Structures are given as C-alpha cells and as structure tokens.
Amino acid sequence: MSRTAEHREDGVLPTSELKVVVGAAYAALKARAAKIDALNVYPVPDGDTGTNMLLTLRSVMEAVSASPDLRGEAAAKAVSRAALMGARGNSGVILSQILRGACEKLGHAHSLDAKALAEALGGAKERAYSAVREPVEGTMLSVVKDAAAAAQALVEGGKSDPVEVLREAARAAHESVRRTPELLRVLREAGVVDAGGYGVAVILDALRASLAGEELVIDGDDDEAVPNEGLLKNTVEHSAEEAWGYCTEFVVNGFYGDAEEFGAWIHEVGKSVLVIPDDDLVKVHLHTQDPGGAISYAGGFGRLSGVKVEDMEAQTRARVEHEAREAPTVDLGVVVASRGAGNRSFFESMGAVVVEGGQGANPSTEDFVRAVAKAGARTVILLPNNKNVVPTAEQVASLVEVEVRIVATQTIAGGLAAMVGYDSEGEPEEVVDEMREIVSGLRCGEVTRAVREARVEGREVPEGAYIGLLDGEIVAVEQGVEDAAIRLVEKMLEEGADVVTLLRGYGMDEGSAKGVAEKIRNLDGAIEVEVKDGGQPLYPLQLVAE
Amino acid sequence: MTMAIVTDSTTTLPEGVQERPDLLVVPLTFGFGPDETYTDKVDLSNAEFYEKLKTSSRFPTTSQPPTGAFVEAYESLDAYDDVLVLTLSSKLSGTYESALSAAGMVDRSVEVIDTKSAEMGSGLILLEVLRVADEGGSFEEVKRAAEGAVRRCGMFFAVGTLEYLEKSGRIGKAQRLLGTALDIRPVLRLEDGEVVPHKRARGRKRQMASIVDEVKPLIESGSQIAYGQVNAYDALSDLRRELGTSGRFVAEIGGVVGSHVGPGAYGVAYL
C-alpha cells in the first residue's frame, strides 16, 4: 500500500495511518538504538542518544494509537505534544522539535505531496535550530538541515513524487552524517559520527519506506556508523535502567529447578524485583520492558498462575492527568532530577520533589511535568543536576500553568549545594537569585569510569580507567578510583575553597571516600569537608567545592 | 523624682553598670535535670558552664524567675518613686509575663517593657535607658526612650548547630532551616523578639561574611553595636576585626541564653 498524495480537504496525517508510519520509524530506530547509544563522544557512560530518541518516538506511537480518529491539525498537535512529553535528554528534545516543526506544516496540508513534505522538512529544520540556544554544526541539526535542503532542491527542480523527496532527504541525511566528524572536532577525535544525526537519517529511511509501502530492510551493516563493539555491551546495560516498562506479576506453582539462578535471572531483567518463595510456590513481581520474556522464562520452572501485566506508562499518564487538575496550594516548590537512594532522601528532606533520573537514564519532560504538579506550588524551581537534563527541564515551562524557574545545576552534588539556598517560604525571585548565586560560585568535580578506550582533548583514556572531570573537563585519568579522586581534588582546590562536599556513589567504599576527605584536609586545614553517601550509579564520587 | 531599673539576668550588664544601686537583676535559672540547677551568671563561670554543656548527657533546661522574685525586687526598691522593668523577649521566655503579673501585685509605679531581645541586645537597650535617665529625663521620657530603643534594636547571630535552639523550643521560624541534608552554618536574627532565619551559609567564612554584610552598613550609618559569644572567642575576634570596631561591649553570654543557642554561637546587636 502506498500512502502518497491523495487530496483531503480535512487534512492529511490521519492518526490511523500515522500509527503505521511512526511504528515503522520506531522499529527502525529500535533496531539501531544500541548502536546509536554507542556513538558516544565522551568515554563516560552517558551514551543514551538512541534510547532517548526511541522514547520520544514511543510516546508519539502511543498517542496516535490512543486517538485513532484524528487528522490534520488535531493529529499534528497530538503528535507534537506526545513527542515533547516523551522527550528525554538533548537528542530527545531536538527530535521532538523536529517532529513538531514537521507537524506544524503538515497539519495545514491537504495532500501529502512532494511540496508538502519538503516544507515539512523545512519546518523541522527551523524548529530544531530554534530549540538550541547555541546551535552547533556537525550534530543532528546539520543533518536535518541538509535533508531539508536536498528535498527543497528536488521540488524546485520539478520533481513531484513524494517518495522520491523522502529518498533524496534520507540520502542527503546519511551523507551529512558522514560529514559530521569534519564539522565537529570532538567527533573527529573520538572517531565516531554524530549519534543524533544518525538517528535522524534512520528515521528518514523508515519514513521513506513506509510512504512507499515497502518493508524496510534493516541490515546489520551500516557504512557510516561503526562503533566499538565493547561499548555496545555497556550501553545495553544502562538502557535497562530506564524506569518505564510493564509491571509484571505471576506465581510459579510447583517450582522446580535452581531457585538461585531463577532469582538472579529475574533480577537481571527487571527492576523493583520481588521474588518471594512460599512452599513450592514462588511469587514474582518485577518491572520489565519484556514481560513476555520473563513469563516464558519462568514457565520453565513450573506452572504459572495469576499472571498480571500492566503498562506502567498508561497508569502514569492517568495519574498525571489527575494530578495536573489539582490547583497549587503553596507559593514555592522545587523539583530535582537525582539518582541514588541517599541523594533522593537528601533532596526530599530539604523539601524537594525528586524525579529519578540523570546520567544514563534521562528523565522525560513528562516526568518533570508530573513532579511539578506534585510540588503543588505557584512557582517551581527545577534543578536538572545534569547537563543533559537541562534541555528537558527547559521544555517544562511551556507545558505547565505554574511559573517555572531553572537553576541549571550540572551535577547532583552541585544541586545539593544549591538547595542550601532554597527557602520554601522565601520570595520566589529572591530564592532563585540566591540559588543561582550559590551555583555560580561552585566548582563541580566528578569521578567516573571510561567505558571504552578513547582520545579526548588530546589525552589518551584507556578503557576502564577512572576519569576525573572538573566542571565537565577531564583533568585526571588514573587506574584507581581513589587516585583519580585525589588528582581531581588537587586540581579543584588550586583556587582554594571554604567547604568541600563529597558525594559517594557506587564504586567507592567509605574508606576511600574518607581517604579523599583526609587528603583535602591535608591540602588545606581550613577547608571544611563533608562526606555524604549519595548512592548514585556511574559516578563513584561527585564533589563540590564552594 | 527618682527611678530604678529592674532587669533579668539575660541582659548583659556592661562594665560600670553592675555596681549601680538603682539597678536590680532578677535571675533566671538553668539546669541539667531536676537535681542540678544553677542561677544564671552566678553559680557557674562560663568555662564551667561550657564544660557541663559538653559533658552532660542531658540538654539543659531553663526557668523563668518566679513572680515572687519580681515582687520582692519591686518592693526592695521602695526608696525610688518609679520602677522600669526590662525583660528578655516574651517570645523566648515567660519572664515578661512573670514581671508583669508581679507589677499588678505591688502598690507602686512599675512599667514593664519587653525588650524583644536578650544579652547584648537588651544590654544596649539598658545603656540607652540609663543614658536618658542620667541626663535627667522624666520617667515618661525614659520609658519612651526604652520603647524607641526596643524598636530600633536588632541582632544577627551565628550558631554552631541548630540543635540547641530546636531542643529548647526557641527555634521560632528558623524551624525551616532544620533537616538540611548538608551541614549548614545558619545565620539568624531576632525579629519582633523571635528567632528567624536570615541565611543558610555553607562554611564558617561565609557565615561570618553574611553577618558582616548586614552589620557594616549599620555601623557606617552610626548605629552602636555590641558583641556576644558562647565559647566562640576566635570567631568573635575575627568578626570584630572584619567590622573594624570593638563595639560598646562584649557579652559573655550566660547559661540561660547559652542553653538556647549552644556552644560556638556568636553575634552582634545594634542600636
């Protein structure tokens, strides 16, 4: 079936068909997500571009499935909003703006012809560029720009076949992806192409195939994207940390087999796992993205009963809609993105609503919108606590009715320091100023681990090495976590400090953290040092000097 | 016409004031449990008090003077025509109530004023009252001077921990500073006699800097200041250096107020 230029007075983009088109794009991107995740510039474990783009499309897919009778402007609006609600991370937000820009044009079209598609790509480009304060070439922005220009040129050259327009756009996009390392030094140094740009090209391929009524062949070998295999392993691991999925429950009756192996497997594939043995029964509860896989695995250990699978995203959505109706009751609230049990309790004890997410598992715009509703305040301050979460947080203001102020914290430790300036009973603008002033005086350090060998800013980083980042720049590369921390601390304190806070995460034991604290005291006895057990993953240590 | 002043023991008595015959001090008490009570600024030296604070397993509690103590004080001053009473903030202690009900029990002219302050703050108010009295002011003028001084007087102070204010129930609106996950160095102030949060600072340096930021302009515009501390000699000498003045006096804060603010507290009052 071909979905080409039929004239419709009531608009194009019927959601019933969009479901198929977006589904195709989703499937194509999903097949490539791990690969895109792996196209990671910094050898730190934040390669989640593919996952983030996928989640944006997933949200769109669900929205069009939920409302199968829309078309024209209404359908365009539904898609734009769903994309934004699902947007996580920089790449997710830019993709949502690409979709929005395209939908704004297509929403007014009466036929899905060549000209309309070229205009849609033009709209996508415009929105993508305006979503970013300082557009950088060699990223998904360049790719969508080149695709739009190629489509436009084709239409101006008199071509009228819409499928051909998309084919040309996809071709130009792939070519543009290959050029990204020429445009961006960090890509060149890391020896990769831009991950988000590659994702855009993959989506265009899928749209072209879907419009032509073809089945898209997803082969394993792409010319332009050839990341290191070792990295793939790592990224699969952290995409499993995503919170969404299906709440799955069942009972295994007459359990036989290795209970320990069974438990370990369930823990491996799930989150919020409960495995409760009772006589020859085992009750199981887990959150997973693959309930079918878990159920069929468990079927090998006995007969199953009480199988229940619930889509937590649907539950969440219902709750959001309910919560959003509640009017704010207080003047000022604060919402933070954070990871780790310790960190959560610190923020909550200071009056914050915590959105779980950050490095490796970016929270979505929707997560923030929900948390803002929960804060129940007329003005809500957002602390992203991560560079990659800032763009998501920035979208929130347009989706909620209350005032939103962002204090652009870059690390969890920095966010905690900023919270010291938070006063729920203060004058909102004064509190925001106070918190921003604190942040401007912070130096933020992080110790993390290289997930692959790399060369960054002229420095060799072996796989598995501990990296010390100071305000985002690599200042230490060491084999041991404590060595990296100490080297980082020496750099951090070159300009002196009054107070240093250490936030211990996975991968650093208490003794090491205390050793680092002792080192700081030895460097300068007047410095007050505080060690907290944050429990964040991926960062054995975060530090903040004030 | 002659007048006498009665105050409670939480008012710092600057040098030269203590010996005045027209000034009487009614003591509060504090203690570590029912069997161990001390008279404020009498029974224990400050060093002994801080040592107890450190070693006692109990938090100190404080007691306002009994009404009878004020009755006795008023009656003992029968050589004077009028009595002006300056008490600790009524938001921090029942002393004011006690002094007021005692005034109703004696057949003489007694005026009770809530200083809405304590220690170096009420000390500055006392100095102002004595100045107007010594210059020959009438009782009415002295009373008005006291009321004016109460309105103008303020205090900023730093505490080492909020624990003592919390345990003693004197934390007031600074309640909301509790539960901060990171160690903070709070700066507090007295507002209408109540402890209110002024700023949460990280680190001792910034704690002091935020006091200096507030008080320096007051000094420049001619306010008098007085310092006070609870086992915080070093911090106080830093603060005096930063503010560039030794002030009218330095209060060795006694056991009662010390029980509320805890060791390591220091501050500055202005008038």
CA distance B230 to chain A (A): 21
CA distance A374 to chain B (A): 20
Residue in A closest to B176 by C-alpha:
A423
CA distance A257 to chain B (A): 46
A458 alpha-carbon distance from chain centroid: 28
CA distance B151 to chain A (A): 24
Q: Are A456 and A189 in contact (CB under 8 A)?
A: yes
In a 13 Å sphere around the CA of A183, the CA atoms on its Cβ side amount to 18
B21 alpha-carbon distance from chain centroid: 22
What amino acid is encoded at A285 in this protein? H
CB contact under 8 A, B203 and A546: yes
Question: What are the structural domain ranges in chain A?
Answer: 15-239, 246-314, 326-440, 443-545
Average pLDDT for A272-277: 69
Q: Are A323 and A335 in contact (CB under 8 A)?
A: no
Give, in order, the Cα–Cα distances in Å from A150 to each of A98, A194, A238, A330, B87.
16, 19, 36, 52, 84
Give B205's contacts in chain A (Cβ within 8 Å): 498
CB contact under 8 A, B202 and A417: yes
Residue in B closest to A442 by C-alpha:
B202
User: What are the tens digits of pLDDT across the range A464-517?
Assistant: 899 999 998 899 999 999 999 999 999 999 888 889 999 999 889 999 999 999
Give the pLDDT score at A240: 28
pLDDT at A45 over 90: no
CA distance A484 to chain B (A): 24
Give A501's contacts in chain B (Cβ within 8 Å): 182
Which DSSP category does B28 fall into?
A: P
pLDDT at A539 over 80: yes
Q: Measure the CA–CA gap between A320 and A317, rounded to whole angstroms.
A: 5
Q: Are A167 and A433 in contact (CB under 8 A)?
A: no
CB contact under 8 A, B182 and A546: no
Question: What is the band of A230 on the pLDDT scale with cuts at 50, 70, 90?
Answer: very low
Query: Which of A350, A438, A546 is closest, CB to CB, to B180?
Result: A350
Q: Are A123 and A115 in contact (CB under 8 A)?
A: no
Nearest to B161 by CA among B121, B188, B192, B189: B188
Which residue reads 């004031």 in tokens? B17
Give the pLDDT score at A81: 84
Torsion, Cα of A268, A231, A242, A210 (10° steps)? -120
Query: Which of B173, B176, B181 is closest, CB to CB, to A349?
Result: B181
pLDDT at A368 over 70: yes
Give A416's contacts in chain B (Cβ within 8 Å): 181-182
CB contact under 8 A, B182 and A346: yes
Choose the CATH number for A326-440 among 3.40.50.2300, 3.40.50.510, 3.40.50.150, 3.40.960.10: 3.40.50.510
Give, in order, the Cα–Cα distances in Å from A92 to each of A48, A112, A401.
10, 26, 23
Give B180's contacts in chain A (Cβ within 8 Å): 349-350, 419-420
pLDDT at A1 over 60: no
Which residue reads 């209404």 in tokens? A74
Residue in B closest to A419 by C-alpha:
B180
CB contact under 8 A, A499 and B197: no
Selected residue with higher pLDDT from B120 and A14:
B120
Give the pLDDT score at A4: 53
User: What are the tens digits of pLDDT across the range A397-415?
Assistant: 888 999 999 999 999 999 9
Residue in A closest to B177 by C-alpha:
A423
- Taking only residues 196 to 215 of chain B, the set having a beta carbon closer than 8 angstroms to any beta carbon of chain A reads 197, 200-206
User: What are the tens digits of pLDDT across the range A415-448?
Assistant: 999 999 998 888 999 999 999 999 999 999 999 9
Which DSSP category does B171 fall into?
A: -
Interchain CB contact of A385 with B (< 8 Å)? no
Residue in B closest to A425 by C-alpha:
B176
- Taking only residues 68 to 107 of chain B, the set having a beta carbon closer than 8 angstroms to any beta carbon of chain A reads none
Give A496's contacts in chain B (Cβ within 8 Å): none
Which residue reads 């009480």 in tokens? A306
Question: What is the band of A313 on the pLDDT scale with cuts at 50, 70, 90?
Answer: low
Give the pLDDT score at A85: 80
Which DSSP category does A411 fall into?
A: S
User: What are the tens digits of pLDDT across the range B105-140?
Assistant: 889 899 999 999 999 999 999 999 999 999 999 999
Length of chain A: 546
Q: What tokens appear for B137 in the block? A: 């002011």
CA distance B166 to chain A (A): 17
Q: Are B122 and B12 in contact (CB under 8 A)?
A: yes
Question: What is the band of B60 on the pLDDT scale with cuts at 50, 70, 90?
Answer: confident
Q: Are A75 and A11 in contact (CB under 8 A)?
A: yes
Is A325 buried (19+), middle (13-18) or exposed (0-12) by CB count in 10 A? exposed
Q: Are A18 and A76 in contact (CB under 8 A)?
A: no
Give the pLDDT score at A241: 29
Give the pLDDT score at A40: 66
> Has domain A443-545 been given CATH number 3.40.50.1820?
no
Torsion, Cα of B16, B20, B26, B32 (10° steps)? 30
Is A265 buried (19+), middle (13-18) or exposed (0-12) by CB count in 10 A? middle
Interchain CB contact of A499 with B (< 8 Å)? yes
Give B181's contacts in chain A (Cβ within 8 Å): 345-347, 349-350, 416, 419, 532
Average pLDDT for A162-171: 95
CA distance A366 to chain B (A): 27
Residue in B closest to A420 by C-alpha:
B200
pLDDT at A233 over 50: no
Selected residue with higher pLDDT from B43 and B85:
B85
- Taking only residues 344 to 373 of chain A, the set having a beta carbon closer than 8 angstroms to any beta carbon of chain B reads 345-347, 349-350
Angle between helices A195-211 and A140-156 (to 10 degrees): 40
pLDDT at B73 over 90: yes
What residues pair up with B89 in beta bridges, in sequence order?
none
Residue in A closest to B178 by C-alpha:
A350
Which residue reads 């897919």 in tokens? A61
Query: Which of B179, B202, B205 is closest, CB to CB, to A420?
Result: B202
Question: Same topology for domains A326-440 and A443-545, yes or no?
Answer: no
Question: What is the band of A227 on the pLDDT scale with cuts at 50, 70, 90?
Answer: very low
Give, in order, the Cα–Cα distances in Å from A102 to each of A13, A121, A158, A299, A390.
11, 6, 21, 46, 24
Residue in B closest to A424 by C-alpha:
B176
CB contact under 8 A, B182 and A530: yes
Give the pLDDT score at A104: 92
Torsion, Cα of B46, B48, B51, B57 (10° steps)? -110
Average pLDDT, chain B: 92
Q: What tokens appear for A372 in the block? A: 């803002």
* Residue of B199, B202, B213 to mutate, testing the A interface (most A Cβ within 10 Å of its Cβ): B202
Angle at B28 between CA B24 and CA B30, to 5 degrees: 150
Q: Measure the CA–CA gap between A169 and A154, rounded to whole angstroms.
A: 9
pLDDT at A42 over 60: no
Give the pLDDT score at A324: 53
What residues pair up with A469 in beta bridges, in sequence order?
A446, A474
CB contact under 8 A, A417 and B182: yes
**Pairing verdict, β A443-449 and A528-533:** unpaired
Q: Structure pTM?
A: 0.69
CB contact under 8 A, A421 and B200: yes
Give the pLDDT score at A188: 83
Give the pLDDT score at A5: 61
Residue in A closest to B184 by C-alpha:
A420
ipTM: 0.77
Question: What is the band of B237 on the pLDDT scale with cuts at 50, 70, 90?
Answer: very high
Give, in order, the Cα–Cα distances in Å from B100 to each of B74, B121, B127.
11, 21, 22
CATH no., domain A246-314: 3.30.70.3100
Which DSSP category does A235 fall into?
A: H
Instruction: Count CB-CB contacts under 10 A for residue A4.
Output: 15
Give the pLDDT score at A226: 43
Q: Measure the CA–CA gap between B217 and B219, rounded to whole angstroms.
A: 5
Which DSSP category does A134 fall into?
A: S
Residues 6 or more apart in contact with residue A410 via CB below 8 angstroms = A385, A386, A387, A444, A471, A472
Q: Is A88 left (phi over 0), alpha (psi -120 to 50) or beta?
A: beta
Instruction: Count CB-CB contacts under 10 A for residue A297.
Output: 14
Give, in order, the Cα–Cα distances in Å from B59 to each of A55, A382, B62, B115.
55, 39, 10, 26
Q: Are A418 and A383 in contact (CB under 8 A)?
A: yes
pLDDT at A239 over 50: no
Average pLDDT for A208-234: 58
Give the pLDDT score at A447: 94
What residues pair up with A541 in beta bridges, in sequence order?
A447, A504
pLDDT at A282 over 80: no
Give the pLDDT score at A2: 46
Q: Measure the CA–CA gap between A32 and B129, rounded to whole angstroms.
A: 83
> Has domain A15-239 been given CATH number 1.25.40.340?
yes
What residues pair up with A281 in beta bridges, in sequence order?
A278
Give the pLDDT score at A257: 83
User: Residue B154: enclosing H or E segment and its boundaries?
Assistant: strand B154-158
- Taking only residues 400 to 429 of chain A, the set having a beta carbon closer than 8 angstroms to any beta carbon of chain B reads 416-417, 419-421, 423-425
Helices and strands: H and E segment counts in chain A: 20, 16
Q: Are A4 and A162 in contact (CB under 8 A)?
A: yes
Size of interface A-B (CB pairs under 8 A): 49
What amino acid is encoded at B258 in this protein? G
Average pLDDT, chain A: 84
* Buried-exposed string B134-150: b where 16+ CB fall within 10 A, e elsewhere: eeebebeebbebbeebb
Q: Are A350 and A333 in contact (CB under 8 A)?
A: no
User: Residue A356: enclosing H or E segment and its boundaries?
Assistant: strand A352-356
Instruction: Count CB-CB contacts under 10 A for residue A198.
Output: 30
Q: Are A139 and A197 in contact (CB under 8 A)?
A: yes
pLDDT at B230 over 60: yes
CA distance A498 to chain B (A): 6
What amino acid is encoded at B28 in this protein? L
pLDDT at A223 over 70: no
Nearest to B30 by CA among B54, B64, B2: B64
Q: Are A93 and A131 in contact (CB under 8 A)?
A: yes
Q: For A97-135, what is the HEC assignment? A: HHHHHHHHHHCCCCECCHHHHHHHHHHHHHHHHHHCCCC
* Residue of A422, A498, A542 to mutate, testing the B interface (most B Cβ within 10 Å of its Cβ): A498
Give A347's contacts in chain B (Cβ within 8 Å): 181
Q: What tokens appear for B265 in the block? A: 């507290």
Domains and CATH numbers, chain B: 3-28+64-151 (3.40.50.10170), 154-270 (3.30.1180.10)
CB contact under 8 A, B182 and A416: yes
Residue in B closest to A431 by C-alpha:
B199
